[in-house]
Amino acid sequence: MGKFDELEAYGLVRSFHTSRESDAVDTLERIVSDPTADETWADRREAMLEEKIDVTEYVLSQLLTDVDEPTPGAPAQAERESESDADERGDPVPQ
């Protein structure tokens, strides 16, 4: 559960054992009644994001490396080229 440890280090998650339910409720009430909570939590989130990578962006960048951007009509053009290549080789062209 390393991801929760990371989030807890930035103050973005709090964990409570079931035997400490009243502590969890007290913490929740304190957070909800804090008028600066939105700003506090946004600051914590930004602090984390300054030190961590955006995993989604990273994965996409790895997957899309050397992949051409899709262009309108590309599948139809590829099909026509494939049929033309088959015809030149004397292969039967699918109808």
* Separation between Cα atoms, residue 25 and residue 89, nearest integer Å: 75
Per-residue pLDDT at 72 exceeds 90: no
Select from 4, 16, 11 the least CA-distant residue to 42. Answer: 11
Domain ranges of the chain: 1-58
Tens digits of residue pLDDT in 26-43: 999 999 999 999 999 999
Q: How many of the other CB atoms lie within 10 Å of CB of 75?
A: 10
Phi and psi dihedrals of 75, rounded to 5?
-60, -40
Average pLDDT, the chain: 81
The arithmetic mean of pLDDT across residues 1-15, rounded, is: 87
pLDDT at site 88:
67
| pTM recorded for the entire structure | 0.53
pLDDT at 61 over 70: yes
CA distance 90 to 84: 10
